[in-house]
Amino acid sequence: MTTTATAAALALGDDALVLSHRLGEWAGHAPVLEEEVALANIALDLLGQARVLYSLVGDEDELAYLREERAFRNLQLVEQPNGDFAHTIARQLYFSVYQRLLYEQLAAGESEFAPLAAKAVKEVAYHQDHAEQWTLRLGDGTAESHERMDRACRALWKFTGEIFQPLTGAEGAAGAVDTTSLEAAWLESVTSVLERATLTVPDGPRSGAWSAGAGRQGVHTESFGRMLAEMQHLHRSHPGASW
């Protein structure tokens, strides 16, 4: 695998791994039993994607458990704390729409990621539908659920600008991805959901609220370090251990 393809595989794998862990944190805390199962299944789908992507690069355990914080290339969006259930749903809506559009483009190309993307896009379509249905239920529900969902959408919006940046150093591997059309399609899809949910669509890319993070460059938010320490603790405490 070329250096550029490796960079893209790590970035996409990190997205999937980190969000998988965040969703796994809901185990035992989801609002209803059905959501325990749904969130766990989504987390497992993402974990499976991460494993395939890491396997293209090297040892998946080393990549997941032995890298330092600055070595991770995930979007800052996926590392954001779960917050209340509305925050989790807003994060999932923003990311799953992006991931579906990205994988659709990759599946239609001839890069190393085409086979994975062709399979994963079916999973991600379910992830998006799940997030959309909950956005509609919360946004067009009670006064409190509407307020919480609206607050969550606004709070996480600033992390979405990074979605539309090309994967640094991965132009050759992800050259089939048209970020301009991806951004337009993402905005159209997300705007449609928020409007149907009677939620206010946050200001777009020309607003200062649309800021781009630097997760792809290894710069992460404060909460990520704590999450990573928890995720890696067992493996680092017992190096070389096996079941």
Sign for the pseudo-dihedral over CA of 75, 76, 82, 85: negative
- 153 close to 87: Cβ distance less than 8 angstroms: no
Residue 172 has pLDDT above 50, yes or no: no
What Rg, from alpha-carbon coordinates, does the chain have?
Answer: 17
| pLDDT band at residue 203 using 50, 70 and 90 as cut-offs | confident
Average pLDDT, integer, range 91-120: 93
Residue 94 has pLDDT above 60, yes or no: yes
Give the three-class secondary structure for 101: helix
| pLDDT band at residue 127 using 50, 70 and 90 as cut-offs | very high
Summarised one tens digit per residue, pLDDT across range 40-89 is 999 999 999 999 999 999 999 999 999 999 999 999 999 999 999 999 99
CATH code of the domain occupying 3-237: 1.20.1260.10
Full-model pTM: 0.91
Look at 45-49, 133-137, 229-233 and tell me which has the smallest mean pLDDT: 229-233
pLDDT at res. 207:
44
Q: Return d(Cα 13, Cα 49) in angstroms, integer.
A: 7
Is residue 136 exposed (0-12), middle (13-18) or buried (19+ Cβ within 10 Å)?
middle
Domain boundaries, the chain: 3-237
Helix axes 3-24, 85-107, angle to 10 degrees: 150
Which residue in the block uniquely carries the two structure tokens 């559009």? Answer: 101
- The residues, ordered by sequence, that sit 6+ positions from 102 with a Cβ below 8 Å of its Cβ are 117, 177, 182
Q: Residue 205 CB: number of other CB atoms within 10 A?
A: 13
